[in-house]
Structure 1
Amino acid sequence: MECPSHLTHQFSFEELAVGQGSNQQPYIRILIFFNKKNGLSEAFSHEHWKSVFADLTMSVGNGAKNFRRYVQFHQDADHRKLVSSLSQYSMQPLQYDGCDEFHAENADQFLRFMADIHNSKELVGECIWHRFTDVDEGMRVMVGYDNLIYGSNIATSEGCDGILPSDPRIARNGSGSDEKNFSLNKSGPERD
């Protein structure tokens, strides 16, 4: 059953109203989830990915000419522990060590980049990729678009701002869970 408030909801932010709530950014976003190769330490894997692997990725073929942004999302054991309390909301941490994120103008550009990667002697031919990632388990990929609701655009991806923190419609004083001092940081305040 569809949500009954879909057409009756009173919007605080009129730009989010049904039929108007799209702030689709002008790029595709590619997320590649993977795990480190078994037997490698977490410390080595993250350091290798940040340095050697990143440099090879930026250097291969046409490299950055075929994408607008490259971000590495690192998740280690400490980060998984931080989010373990979210299970009370039926949320479980993804069991990946990392995610490469790319923005590209279109799918063809990114596919050219992936072809360069897989034709690269340095990344694939010399098995850097295979020595670093768990290729037996494989990688998981998501491709789609960002619909930016809150925050500023990414200049290199040529996007449009969402609702900005300075917007006067944003409540800043004493309502909701802000008062409860929730924190995912264990060194921070205690949770209620």
Structure 2
Amino acid sequence: MATRIDHKFVHPELSYDAEPNFQPCIKISVLFKKLESVSYETFFLHWRTVHADLTLATQAFRDNILRYTQCSQTPELKEKAKSMGNVLDFDACAQLWTRSWEDWEKFSTSPEYAAALTEDSGRFLQMPPTYMVCNENLIVGDASKQIGGKDGLSFAK
């Protein structure tokens, strides 16, 4: 059993006895490093345009992925982040949401995905990427209406 400390919760929605606000999806974060021979400008331009377009063009994507975002860690942001402590040694992170692990497998193992993205990935990404797979517990903010999750806390006046 998890250990609990004596704490007076300001927000009862976060208390030990409250249910977490897990969103009805799995979030897959794919962390990338650019090829050494590719400039940051070329990397980010290609990733947000050609690579994103190839990804979205697959039926496997349209059938199984609910949300896709790209997070870019520019050299300037990476340098600023060093003031906070350890910095992940990656240039970018794609985040994809699926309803289930099976949906992720349908997308990521589809021949269509491999045909569309394997060759392109080799043009600008170091392979293999690093993955983090998780459930999202939404604390503050709006849930995606597409997936029907419950909103988190709001501090709007």
TM-score, length basis structure 2: 0.91
Aligned CA-pair RMSD: 1.8
In structure 1, C-alpha distance between the alignment counterparts of 2:112 and 2:34, rounded to whole Å: 18
Aligned residue in 2 for 1:23: 21
Matched, 1:99 2:85: no
Contact 1:27 1:103 in 2 (8 A): yes
- AA aligned to 1:83 is A
Unaligned 5+ segments in structure 2 are: none
Q: Deviation at 1:122? A: 2.8
Q: Deviation at 1:116? A: 2.3
Unaligned 5+ segments in structure 1 are: 168-192
- AA aligned to 2:12 is E
Contact 2:34 2:91 in 1 (8 A): yes
Which among 132, 142, 149 is matched to residue 132 of structure 2? 142
Contact 1:36 1:97 in 2 (8 A): yes
Which among 107, 110, 115 is matched to residue 113 of structure 1? 107
Larger Cα Rg: Structure 1 or Structure 2?
1
Q: Deviation at 1:150? A: 1.0
Q: Deviation at 1:21? A: 4.6
In structure 2, C-alpha distance between the alignment counterparts of 1:63 and 1:159, rounded to whole Å: 21
Q: Deviation at 1:37? A: 1.3
Aligned residue in 1 for 2:38: 40
Change (3 A) 1:164 1:117: farther
Matched, 1:52 2:50: yes
Answer 1 or 2: higher relative contact order, Cα 8 Å, separation at least 6: 2
Aligned length: 156
Identity over aligned residues, as a percent? 26
Q: Deviation at 1:119? A: 5.0
Task: Give the match's secondary structure for 1:32.
Answer: strand
- AA aligned to 2:147 is S
- AA aligned to 2:141 is G
Change (3 A) 1:151 1:119: closer
Aligned residue in 1 for 2:142: 152
Aligned residue in 2 for 1:188: none
Structure 1 residues 128-168: Cα deviation after superposition (integer angstroms, max 9, x where no partner): 11112112xx211111100011111122232111101227x
